Amino acid sequence: MSAQYEPIESMAAELHRLPGVGPKTALRFAYFIASMPLEDVRNLSVALWEGRKAIRFCKVCGNYASGDLCSVCADPRRSNGQICVVRDPRDVAALERTHEYGGRYHVLHGTLSPMDGVGPDDINIRELVARMSTENVTEVILATNPDVEGEATASYIARLLHPMNIRCTRIAHGVPVGGDLEYTDEVTLLKALEGRREI
């Protein structure tokens, strides 16, 4: 019955696309939406569609933007020669929450992944290289994720920029603050040892 009730099924089928939402959660969301006031569902539906339509990308760095430039690229104080390379706009948001980084960003919108057929031309690498000649870049901070694709992407970009005499750095790997040595995997511990510093 009800699980084959068409309006519920069609809502659940679409909600199932969301990350981490399995068939049961999608059904739970659908039942919930079915019991929401019509006006609230209209607001939800419109917010998603209008929100998605309003998404713009910065012409320089690929970050989310309200106009042609994102708020970082539009801020002249952040033109300090540093470019931090990340995979997604959400990584920009994460780094901005530290309130410490004063340079600019470059959003790749993906990482190299030969297995998934994602090559250098499929992500914003060419645009990054172009910035080396138009901006006065002193350092490129490679802040892709510390996974296989992220490491491969960082290495690839570093090899590409070295002949141009651009200083490339990679974010540190180590034990997360508040973490526990006992539960830290060996590779991370090894990186933490290798990256040790005088105190």
Contact positions vs its own copies (CB under 8 A): 1-3, 5-8, 10-11, 13-15, 17-20, 25, 28-36, 38, 40-55, 63-64, 66, 70-72, 88-90, 92-93, 96-97
Cβ proximity to its own copies, 89 vs 174, nearer residue: 89
Q: Considering beta carbons, is residue 25 or 188 the nearer one to its own copies?
A: 25
CA neighbor of 88 nearest in space, from 120, 68, 62, 114: 62
Name the residue nearer to its own copies (CB basis): 101 or 132.
101
For the bound state, the minimum distance from the C-beta of residue 55 to its own copies, rounded and expressed in Å, comes to 5
- Give the other-Cβ count within 10 Å of 131's Cβ: 15
Instruction: Read off φ and ψ for residue 105, nearest 5 degrees.
Output: -125, 165
**What is the distance, to the nearest Å, from the Cα of residue 132 to the centroid of all Cα atoms in its chain?**
22
Q: How far is the CB of 70 from its own copies (least distance, A)?
A: 8
CB of 93 to its own copies, least distance (A): 3
Asked if residues 143 and 95 have their Cβ atoms less than 8 Å apart, the reply is: yes
- In whole angstroms, how far apart are CA 102 and each of 30, 76, 111? 43, 11, 24
Give whichever of 25 and 184 is closer to its own copies, judged by the CB atom. Answer: 25
Nearest approach, Cβ of 178 to its own copies (angstroms)?
Answer: 17
> Least distance from C-beta 35 to its own copies, angstroms?
8
Q: Are strands 167-170 and 64-65 parallel, antiparallel or unpaired?
A: unpaired
Closest to its own copies by CB, 4 vs 136, is 4
Short-list 88, 129, 126, CA closest to 109: 88
Alpha-carbon distance of 165 to 168, in angstroms, equals 9
Which residues fall within 8 angstroms of residue 11, CB to CB, at 6 or more apart? 29, 30, 33, 34
CB of 84 to its own copies, least distance (A): 12
In the complex with its own copies, the residue whose CB is nearer, 35 or 134, is: 35
